[in-house]
Each structure stands twice: as structure tokens, then as C-alpha cells.
Amino acid sequence: MIILKSPEQIDLMRRSGKVLAQTHAKLRELVRPGITTLELDRAAEEYIRSQGAIPSFKGYQGFPGSICVAINDVVVHGIPGSQRLEEGDIIGIDIGTILGGWHADSAQTIPVGEISQEAQNLLATTERALWEGIAQAQPGNKLGDISATIEEVAKKAGYGVVRDLVGHGIGTKMHEDPQVPNFGKRGRGITLRVGMTIAIEPMFNLGTHRVVLDSDNWTVRTADGKLSAHFEHTVAITASGPVPLTTLGEERF
């Protein structure tokens, strides 16, 4: 069941999203060779709580961190720990916040120092796919319009699109209906309506789309060990079009 949100409720989600966006901005400043992912996790938790919000991932199905980290071939859901970032790495940081009972969810993948041209292209293309997907989140469009748009960007670049993990509705729960796949067909699926709030989150791989789960039962990696990138925003579908709720600015389409 898809739960539609009122403009007032979307405004509350926007507040949660603002805290999240500020947390991302702070972590981006900290990312550098030598820092551990646990240090990033602690900085995120401290800032989120200082704003009166809660890091929603902490304790979610037993997850130990406040953020998920994804270095190089890790797609998503890596556990923060003693691993130090190295020059040339890419690190995906996924964060969830709850403020006043409202969830926000957003991820970005960040270069550590100088990265290869191949990695730069992967990051730029995955982020572009997110924004092209967001632009399709218009009332009256179909869910498949978002999915197909994202998939087409990946295919043009020759990347694998992760199929085992998808975007999702979001609101008073982190995961609500509908699922938002990063692959699909234009004109298919449910009709997008004013008041829907969804997390759109392309995950692109340099090689195969297939992924494997580590023995920690959390960390998802590419099956071939090649790089993976992940970008995500929480987006509200409004009468005037899609409104990203997890940015620092006031982007509208």
C-alpha cells in the first residue's frame, strides 16, 4: 500500500532530509586517505544527534553502524570499522535519519584523493542517472519511466545495473511501497501521484550486475570485484514536479 503524504508531512520529511544533507556535507570534508570508516560513522552519529535526529540505520535489523560504507567493489551495506581509506579509493556513504518520526535516506559516492578516469566516469554517470531518474518523478508518469531512464544511462555507458537491490517508498518507515527498481520499461508500473515520497538510488557496476554477500551477512560486493557506485535522494512528487528532500538547496524541476 502506497501512503500519500500531505504538503505539511513532506515539509517534515524535508527537515529530516536537511539534517541528512548537512551530515553528508560534513563527512565529505572528512573523507581523505588515512581516516577510518568508524571515524566517519562517529562523526555522522554525533552530528545527527546534535540536530535532534536519530541515525535510522543504527540497530536496523541489528546493523551496528550509523552509516553504511561501501569502498570500491562494495555496492552497499558495508559496516564501519577500522579500515582506512586509501588514495584512489571510492567510498559510498549511505545515511538515514529520523526527525520527528519522519525518515530521510540518501547516499553519495566520494573520491578519496585522486581517482582513476574510469572511476570518475562511473561516479559522474551514476549521479547523472539519479538526476535523470528524479526528473521523471512527475505526477502522471509511470514508475517504469524512472526505472527505464536510469537503466538507459547505465547501458549507454556499458555498466551493470544492480538488480538485487532497489529504491523504495519512504515516510514514517524507511522502507514503504512501492519498490523503485533501477531497471524497467517506460510506460509500465504504477502511476506516480502527488504526495508519493520515494528514495531513488541507482547502483552501477563497472562490470557485471551480479553481487555477492560477504560472510558478515551485510556487505554486498560486486561478483567480479570491479568498482561500484551508489547515489540516492529521497524525493517528493508534488503538483509542481519532483522535489528532492535530501539536498542542501531547494532544487525543483
User: Can you give the binding site for Mg ion, defined by CB under 5 A?
Assistant: 94, 105, 107, 199, 232
In the complex, least distance from residue 45 CB atom to Mg ion, rounded to whole angstroms: 16
In the complex, least distance from residue 158 CB atom to Mg ion, rounded to whole angstroms: 25
When the beta carbons of 117 and 203 are compared against Mg ion, the nearer one is 203
In the complex, least distance from residue 197 CB atom to Mg ion, rounded to whole angstroms: 12
When the beta carbons of 108 and 125 are compared against Mg ion, the nearer one is 108
Q: What one-letter code names the amino acid at 216?
A: D
In the complex, least distance from residue 173 CB atom to Mg ion, rounded to whole angstroms: 12
212-217 CB contacts, 8 Å cutoff, 24+ apart: 216/79
When the beta carbons of 118 and 164 are compared against Mg ion, the nearer one is 164
When the beta carbons of 105 and 145 are compared against Mg ion, the nearer one is 105
178 close to 164: Cβ distance less than 8 angstroms: no
In the complex, least distance from residue 117 CB atom to Mg ion, rounded to whole angstroms: 27
When the beta carbons of 2 and 84 are compared against Mg ion, the nearer one is 2
The CA distance from 147 to 82, in Å, is 36
In the complex, least distance from residue 116 CB atom to Mg ion, rounded to whole angstroms: 25
When the beta carbons of 75 and 148 are compared against Mg ion, the nearer one is 75
Beta strands in 64-218 (DSSP E): 67-71, 74-76, 90-99, 102-111, 160-161, 167-169, 176-180, 197-200, 203-205, 211-213
Cell of residue 134, nine digits: 528524479
Q: Is 223 helix (H, G, I), strand (E, B) or coil?
A: coil
Q: Is 253 helix (H, G, I), strand (E, B) or coil?
A: coil
The CA distance from 30 to 228, in Å, is 21
Cell of residue 54, nine digits: 536519530
Greatest Cα pair distance in the chain: 48
